[in-house]
Amino acid sequence: MKFLIIGGDAAGMSAASRAKRLNPSMTVTVLEQTHDVSYSACNMPYNVADPRRSMDDLVVRSADVFRNKQGIDLRTGHRVVRINAKDHTVEVRTEDSQNLNLTYDYLMIATGANPIMPDLPGFNQPGVMALKRLADGRALKRYVKENDVRHTVILGMGYIALEMCEALHARGVAVEMVKPRPDLLPWLVRDLAADIQRELEAHRIKLQMEKAVQEIRRDGKRLCVMGPDFAIPTDMVLVAVGVQPNSELAADAGLELGPSDAIAVNHCMQTSDSAIYSGGDCADAFHVVSGQRVWIPLALRANRSGWAVADHICTRPVHLPGIVGTAVFKVFDQQVARTGLTMAEAVQAGFDPQSATITSESRAGLYPGGFKIRVHMVGDKASGKLLGVQMVGKESVAHRINAAAVALHSGLTVSEFVQCDLAYAPPFGGVWDPLLIAANQLMKKL
C-alpha cells in the first residue's frame, strides 16, 4: 500500500509516523517543499524574544530521524504542483527543477495555512516580514539583529500580532500596532478587551485603530507605513493580519471546499474523494456546539487529525466529533482564553443567546497575592445549554478554560455546569470558582 502525504509539519508527520507504526510494511512518502519538518511554530514568538536562542531549537524531530529510524520516505525540497485524482498520481517539482510523477493508494493533503499578505505597494520589499514558517522566524530574527531594529510596526492585532508585540518589546524594540477596524480583538467582549488594551498601553505599546494602510515606502534604510491620513517611519514591518488555508491544490483537483475555502472533510478526515484525506490548518472541522462546519486552525486538531487519517487507512475505527475552538495566549502579564461560541456566533448558529460577565478573584479573598479574573459566559435561552466562555486575568486563566471546554464537549446545560464539582483550595481560588459564579449569574438570565 502506498500512502503519500503532502506537507511535513504537525498533521503530515503525525500521520506518517502513526501509519508506519501501525503498518510497518506500508510505503509512506512525505513531500515537503521546504527543508523544515516537525517544528513548534507556536513557540516562534518566544524564541524571537531571546536573542541567544537559535530558531532551530524549535525542531521537534529532524528529517533524518524520520528517514533512518522510522523508515519514512521523507523528501524535502519537493513541491507538489498538481493532484490527478482520477489516476491517483501527483506531479512534483524538485528544487533542482526535476519533474516527477508519483502514484498513491491513499493521499493526505497537509499543506497548512499561508499568512495573508495584502496586495499593496511596498509589501514585497526587505524588512516587511510575516511569521508562519520556521524560515520566517529565522529571517525575522536575523533582520532584527543585522539591521539594529529599534522600532517595528505590526499590522494586525490578533494572536500572533500580540505575542510578537511582547517578544519584540522584550528585545528593546518600540512597537506600534496598526489596524483598520476600531476593536482590539473583535471576538472578545468589550469589557475584557479593555483590560488587554490597558495592559498594552501600560507597556508603552502604541495602538493605532481605524488606520487603513495603503502602501509601504522605503526612505533610505528605513520604511514608512503610509495611509490616507498618517505616515509612520519604522525599521521593520510585521504583517500579522491573519492566515488563510493553503487549499489551492485541493481546489484544482476538484475537491469540495468549506468555510474560508478550507478543504472540506468528514469525521474520518476524508475529503469529497474517498482516497484523499486532509488535516491540519488547511482542513475544516465540525463545531461541536453549533454542528456547523468551521475553519479554526489549532495545533491539537492538526496532530489529532494526522493520527485519525493514519488510523482510518489502517482500517481502525475513527470518528472525530469536532472542536469547540479552545484557545489561549498571553499579552505581557495578562492571559486571554476562549472556548465555544461568542454572542454573535451563537446568533448566527440559530441560538437565542444570553450572557453574563463577572469579575472575581484568582485566589480566595483572604489568601494573599491573587488577581482579578473576568469571565464572560454565553448560554442558550431556549435549551439552557452552555454555548461559550471567555476569560481574562493574570493567573490561572489558561487552565480554568479547560473545564468550560469539557463542559461544551459534553453538551452540559448551564444549570448542570453549576453543579460540577470543581476543585477548591485558597491558593487556587474561592469556594465558588469564577466559572461557577458566572454560571450562577447566567442562570438568572436564562
CA dihedral sign of residues 250, 252, 254, 258 = positive
Strands 206-208 and 174-178: parallel
* Grid cell 533512518 in the structure block, residue: 68
CA dihedral sign of residues 21, 24, 30, 34 = positive
Q: What are phi and psi of 397, to 5 degrees?
A: -75, -45
- Give the separation between CA 397 and CA 405, rounded to whole angstroms: 13
DSSP state of 385: B
**For residue 20, which of 3, 45, 40 has the smallest C-alpha distance?**
3
Cell of 60: 521537534
- Give the separation between CA 355 and CA 443, rounded to whole angstroms: 9
**For residue 246, which of 72, 446, 53, 80 has the smallest C-alpha distance?**
80
CA distances from 252 to 10, 83, 243, 256, 322 (A): 24, 8, 20, 10, 26
DSSP state of 196: H
- Give the separation between CA 393 and CA 360, rounded to whole angstroms: 10
**For residue 386, which of 443, 316, 314 has the smallest C-alpha distance?**
443
Count the Cβ atoms, other than its own, within 10 Å of residue 197. 18
* Grid cell 471546554 in the structure block, residue: 405
- Give the separation between CA 326 and CA 143, rounded to whole angstroms: 33
Q: Is 42 a catalytic residue?
A: yes
Kindly state the helix (H) or strand (E) to which residue 411 belongs, with its residue range: none
Spacing of C-alpha 422 from chain mean position: 28
Residues 191, 374 contacting (CB under 8 angstroms): yes
Q: Which string of DSSP letters, residue by residue, matches 266-281? A: -TTSB-SSTTEEE-ST
- Give the separation between CA 45 and CA 331, rounded to whole angstroms: 12
The letter for the amino acid at 412 is L
Active-site entry in 42, 224, 268, 420: 42
Angle at alpha carbon of residue 102, lines to 305 and 65, rounded to 5° = 55
CA distances from 56 to 36, 53, 95, 112, 133 (A): 9, 8, 22, 20, 12
Annotated active-site positions, please?
Answer: 42
